[in-house]
Amino acid sequence: MPKRAPVGAAGLTGLTIVAACFLAFRVFLSSHGTAFLRQWSVPSIIIAYFLFCPAVACGLYSLLFESPKAMGLAGLAIGLLTVVVVRESVIILDGLLLLPFWFLATIGLVKFLRWRGMKIT
């Protein structure tokens, strides 16, 4: 199924990484013993911040334009579940203001890759 919906697979992968980063953030922040583990909480939240909005745009693109909609729907469900369950996830919601631009960038990238694929063959 990822071959038929590559953008949806990318969005699902990105939103799964975001959910894993929030899980790592909670684990690293709750480790009382070592400062070594607590220092990794910041990079995990930064990765989630920069990956969330493009992954949501990929999920929306897959839901609207790709024929098997399961990948896009699963990705958006994971993203919504992450935002609802994890209370620290409100940090990444301000990135949704740029969602129209990320969506246009996703459309442009898909069109460019399809054009380039036709030009090579």
- What mean pLDDT is predicted for residues 13-28? 91
**What's the pLDDT band for 13 if we cut at 50, 70, 90?**
very high
The pLDDT, as a whole number, for residue 33 is 63
Question: Is residue 108 exposed (0-12), middle (13-18) or buried (19+ Cβ within 10 Å)?
Answer: exposed
Residue 17 CA: distances (Å) to CA of 5, 48, 64, 106, 114 = 18, 7, 22, 19, 26
Of residues 120 and 19, more confidence is placed in 19
Question: What residues does each domain of the chain span?
Answer: 6-120
Of residues 121 and 68, more confidence is placed in 68
Q: Looking at this protein, which amino acid is placed at residue 111?
A: K
The pLDDT, as a whole number, for residue 90 is 80
Where do runs of H (alpha helix) occur along 1-121? Answer: 6-30, 35-38, 41-65, 70-85, 99-120
Three-state DSSP at 32 gives: coil
d(CA 87, CA 70): 27
List, for residues 21-58, the tens digit of each pLDDT value: 998 888 888 777 677 777 888 888 899 999 999 999 99
The pLDDT, as a whole number, for residue 40 is 80
Residue 41, C-beta contacts closer than 8 angstroms, at least 6 positions apart: 24, 25, 28, 29
Q: Could you tell me the pTM of the whole model?
A: 0.87
Residue 89 has pLDDT above 80, yes or no: no
